[in-house]
Amino acid sequence: MANLIVFGILVLLFGSAIVYIVKAKRKGVKCIGCPHSGKSQCSCDDQVVNFKL
């Protein structure tokens, strides 16, 4: 029983970490846990503007 509980805790911890990372990546976060590391807020037009410079 104790083994099951610990296994469950580990699965919960790793699962939560993986879900968080996947969600953040889908939102366009370039680096997990990096402040101001550039969420993908620009539209494609912005990319063109930046690229042309």
Residues in contact with other proteins by CB under 8 A are 2-3, 6-7, 9-10, 13-14, 17-18, 20-21, 30-38, 41-42, 45-46, 49-50, 53
Least distance (Å) between residue 4 CB and other proteins: 10
Minimum CB distance to other proteins smaller for 27 or for 36? 36
From CA 23, how far away is CA 43, in angstroms rounded? 20
Helical (H) or strand (E) element with 6? helix 2-26
From CA 38, how far away is CA 40, in angstroms rounded? 6
